[in-house]
Structure 1
Amino acid sequence: MTPPTQATFDARPLTEPVDPRAVRAFAAELRARGTATMNAGAIIAVVVIALSAVIMVPVLVSVMVAVLSGSVSGGRGGLIPFALIGVAAVLGIVLSLAGWRRARTTRYRLNRFAQANGMTYEARIADPPLPGMVFGIGRSRASTDVVRGTTPRFAEFGNFQYTTGSGKNSTTHNWGYVAVKLDVPLPNIVLDAKGNNSFGSNLPAAFRKAQRLSLEGDFDRYFDLYCPEGYESDALYLFTPDIMARFIDNAAELDVEIVDDWLFLYTQRKASTLDPATWAWLFGAVGALLVKLDQWARWRDERLLVANPPLASSAGQARDATALPFAAPAGMLTPPPGVAHEGRRLSRGFRWVPIVVAVVFGVVWIALQAIGSMH
């Protein structure tokens, strides 16, 4: 993906008219590739049409014949309730089919949009192998409408959903995300954007408060930054004032996670959409960050040198690396790319606010019930 600018960002395929034949052909191509997906509208359409064909249509025909032949009490007025049911069924079919067709058109537009901007499109990826915090939760995990680019580095834009709970208590969670491949693994760092929070953090994971790091300037007004304990100086190295300014200017409404050799941007609305303004916003955020990610490639975890001391000689003494003719001069030994174990993942915390709210609500409800029983 070339860093998008106003000159190279082509949003026309998102809104310009489409050829219905081309849409049908692309839908057939997705089915042949096994990547076609049925959304809720398509499922509802199939169910409604099937029920109407099997139950509603024969019943309505029988009633109409009976009324017209005069064998139903009330004359033609007796047809009104069934006519209303029939109209509701037809309206449901029309709306469901419209949703199904709209979903097919959306996939076709996004595919053309990806091609116009030098990227590729995938309709659905089941259980995507990404290490971000949202991708390992729940069940029925899937990314949809995935748009990918590879130049100057790999970047993926998509919508992700997963389900938690079961039965009547099941909940489907939806996220939009951008995944950017980095040059080297980095410590697990999370930037919880304050601009998209409501009652506390909107992130699906909580982190121990001891890992919270306060940065200089206005950064704390926009983000809560979490880094593994002992990696505070490394976070300061990565988040220099110029990079902090870019996050504030371009990603203040996005939650950010660095994990392994990935940078994730999260939003609770769709990231892959037909809205040109959303793409301009996300392209602008990624493009602004890409030009600064090269300096992150120079970061090294000094703990890896401690974890891998010089080999011991057969006499049990540490071998002097500087005595070897092919060794680096003293002071110039550099650890390999990577992160020590203690920096790979943040320690998870526990959210008390929802529990406190639930307890208070329960106490109030019980009190109201008790007061009501006294009257």
Structure 2
Amino acid sequence: MSAAAPPHYPFYTAPLTEPVDGNAARTFEKHLRASDRLPKKSSQTVMFVVVGVVFAFMLFPMFGGALIALGGSTDPFAAFVETITLLAPILFIGIAATVVIVIFVRRGPAGAVRMYRLDRFARANAMTYEPHLANPGLPGMIFTQGSARASSDLVRGDQPRFVEFANYRYTTGSGKNRTTHQWGYVAVKLDVPLPHIVLDALGNNALFGSNLPTSFAKDQRLSLEGDFDRYFSLYCPSGYERDALYLFTPDIMARFIDNAAALDVEIVDDWLFLYAKRDFSTLDAATWAWLFSVVGALLDKLAQWARWRDDRLRMDAAAAAALTATAAHDAASMNTGAAHDDVPFAPPLDTLRPPPGVAAPGKRLTRRGPWIVFAIAGGFVLLWFVQMIAGGFFLLQ
């Protein structure tokens, strides 16, 4: 059985739900580990053994003490109470150990089956599968946050252009304040570098505003025509407003509204990223149908962006062309003795087309600190200051 995205973008979901041979899945996982495509399990194994040894050292003395108390006491009721008191922690630790063992044992086969299914799904759709990639090194905003950065369950295709679907994790803080952040992303390779543009979807914002990990200066927000502002807040570098309007024509805005209103979008360098705080690469056929439909709808329009050029690079191109022409002019004059007027010179500057690329001001948006953090910190400082003044006032009384 198969499912299909919009026309020209069929895909097959049967491998996500078909019965899987457990031995084949485990063999596939062993192959991934042997080829270093999965993280080593040594740290997990060591942790499991250490936890087991600790449990053993805690269980045996308690169990032995309970037996001694039960056999050496002359008061049966007191012996019963003392035994229950000693055995209760044993029972609790035993249950906890059982839960840990079950989770540890069951996670392996389940993970192997998941990876096996996703690999078969990717192959059935002329794509490839990678289970893990540490520090993917992409230029999007989520890939520069925190530590322990890693993509997982990467499904990649290169027709008609490179597209990568994956899940992503990174951590911030340490100790009790350590937080793991969960994202799903789609990365689409563009034909040319474009200005840094962010579409912050309004439909997935949190209580205090954007759910994106980075905030941008308000003066970079650009209002577009129609209903676009009801769905997205668009940020572009100062001075690139006309370029953003060139890229986001009414037909392209309609595609984003109709297909990607639940996703945050980032254009940076020659990449387009779609983000959401949920896993994208899953065994859920409906999720894949949605993502394929979004990508399919956008790919039809991305070719228009290949014609964009940054006019700010025109003078750089003109200067380079003039230097090259001058060098050729001088060399020809020296070698042939021709008069200067007989040697071709640089073409008119207004005929030069800027090369692909983005001038420095358009490569990155200007960031700003999260106002809520500063507000809370300022509130604490103000409270501390008021307490200090009040304490000093009472000491003077």
Supply the AA of the counterpart residue of 2:322: L
Note the 1:37-52 alignment, pairs <5 A.
37=39, 47-48=47-48, 50-52=50-52
**Match in the other structure for 1:56:** 55
2:269, 2:233 → 1: CA distance?
20
Q: TM-score if structure 1 supplies the norm length?
A: 0.84
Gaps of 5+ in 1: 317-322, 371-375
CA contact (8 A) 1:301 1:339 kept: yes
Q: TM-score if structure 2 supplies the norm length?
A: 0.80
Larger radius of gyration: 2
- Cα 1:324/1:141, change in 2 over 3 Å: farther
2:58, 2:223 → 1: CA distance?
69
State yes or no: 1:334 paired with 2:353. yes
2:72, 2:96 → 1: CA distance?
22
Percent of residue pairs identical = 56
State yes or no: 1:161 paired with 2:169. yes
- Cα 1:84/1:288, change in 2 over 3 Å: same
Which among 357, 373, 381 is matched to residue 354 of structure 1?
373
Q: Give the CA deviation at 1:35.
A: 1.8
* SS of residue paired to 1:180: strand
Which among 280, 284, 287 is matched to residue 275 of structure 1?
284
State yes or no: 1:123 paired with 2:131. yes
Note the 1:1-375 alignment, pairs <5 A.
4-5=5-6, 8-37=10-39, 47-48=47-48, 50-52=50-52, 54-57=53-56, 60=59, 71=71, 74=79, 77=84, 79=87, 81-198=89-206, 199-309=208-318, 310-311=321-322, 313=326, 332-360=351-379
1:203, 1:155 → 2: CA distance?
22
1:247, 1:235 → 2: CA distance?
14
Q: Give the CA deviation at 1:59.
A: 5.6
1:366, 1:48 → 2: CA distance?
49
- Cα 1:86/1:170, change in 2 over 3 Å: closer
1:141, 1:262 → 2: CA distance?
19
Q: Give the CA deviation at 1:346.
A: 1.1
Supply the AA of the counterpart residue of 2:274: L
**Match in the other structure for 1:373:** none
Supply the AA of the counterpart residue of 1:211: Q
2:301, 2:198 → 1: CA distance?
18
Q: Give the CA deviation at 1:332.
A: 4.4
Q: Give the CA deviation at 1:300.
A: 1.1
* SS of residue paired to 1:152: coil
Point out the more displaced range, 337-346 or 359-368: 359-368
Q: Give the CA deviation at 1:63.
A: 5.9
- Cα 1:72/1:205, change in 2 over 3 Å: farther
CA contact (8 A) 2:322 2:346 kept: no
CA contact (8 A) 2:198 2:236 kept: yes
